[in-house]
Amino acid sequence: MEDPSAAQEHNRRAWNDRVRKRGRFARPAADEDFIDPLKKLDALGWLGGDIRGSRTLCLAAGGGRQGPIYASCGAIVTVVDISGEMLELDRQVAAQRKLHLTTVETSMDDLSMFADGSFDLVIHPVSTCYTPVVAPVFQEVARVTRVGGLYISQHKQPTSLQADIRPSPHGYELLEPYYREGPLPPVQGSRHREEGTLEYLHRWDQIIGGICRAGFFIEDLTEPFHADTSAKEGAFAHRSRYVAPYVRIKAQRRAPPDTELIKKILWTP
């Protein structure tokens, strides 16, 4: 089994580098993002229309987007990221817009600086692909989310990570096995992958099963729509007609089982 900390250190440097190069996902929120921010963040209404005062963890969400936008909706925001440079963008945007947020530099599988049940809401943009082992991430998220709190996460779909980025006469062929170890081979010029980072395929069992096993109920699941029938062959929107790139999951922290009650029921003749 691969040492997760080596991959995380590689990705920390890669994301710091993306900030210096102003790469995709390292560009802060723009004025229009703050016009009707809750609608922009939550078109599906998963957040219930009002998150003022909600203790919100934006996990692996540096880059000056999610953190400041949630803070502008009145949430009490903590942004966690492994990249200090990505977090610096959050601090800059917060200062420019006179918003309050806290930043913490750590890996998503180590939230030991937060007490159990510290957050009402955890927002987790696409990032589980950057860690070789995902179960400890979900266990940490479950620990820091209060019972009844929400965990909203987005992930790269495994099929998208298996499929070629170039079209063939047969569509987009599966090049990578589903059951595999180690980082995916590097690619260039793909909007589905981030060059310079190490990315890992996590299977459905590890994503959906992992969230459930960590202590959540799944309430809803969507596949953000990126397909376009007029897109040119090989374009992101063309490939998205064949393979959905992402999945978005709404989960609620469930109460731990009442072991005393279970024992009583089992032992009552």
**Site of interaction with ligand SAM (CB under 6 A):** 8, 11, 15, 25, 60-63, 65-66, 81-83, 86, 107-108, 125-127, 130-131
Around Cβ 30, how many Cβ atoms within 10 Å? Answer: 10
Gap between the Cα atoms of 88 and 94, Å rounded? 10
Min dist CB 263 to ligand SAM, Å, is 38
**Exposed, middle or buried by CB within 10 Å (0-12, 13-18, 19+), for 214?**
buried
Compute the distance between CA of residue 58 and CA of residue 26 in angstroms, rounded to an integer. Answer: 15
Residue nearest to ligand SAM (CB): 63
CB nearer to ligand SAM: give 188 or 230. 188
Contact 124, 134 (CB under 8 A): no
User: Which C-beta is closer to ligand SAM: that of 87 or that of 244?
Assistant: 87
Tell me how far, at minimum, the Cβ of 83 lies from ligand SAM, in Å: 4
Q: Which is nearer to ligand SAM, 148 or 224 (CB)?
A: 224
State both tokens at 37. Answer: 């921010």
Q: How far is the CB of 128 from ligand SAM (least distance, A)?
A: 9
Taking the least distance from each CB to ligand SAM, the nearer of 143 and 261 is 143
Query: Judging by DSSP bridges, how do beta strands 76-81 and 119-124 pair with one another?
Result: unpaired
Which residue lies nearer to ligand SAM by CB, 55 or 193? 193
From the list 62, 73, 124, the residue with the least C-alpha distance to 100 is 73
Element spanning 40, H or E? helix 37-41
Distance separating alpha carbons of residues 94 and 80, to the nearest angstrom? 15
| Residue 195, helix vs strand vs coil | coil
Nearest distance from C-beta of residue 266 to ligand SAM, angstroms: 41
Would you say 139 or 167 has its CB closer to ligand SAM?
Answer: 139
State in angstroms the smallest separation of the CB of 170 from ligand SAM: 30
Minimum CB–partner distance for residue 85 and ligand SAM (Å): 8
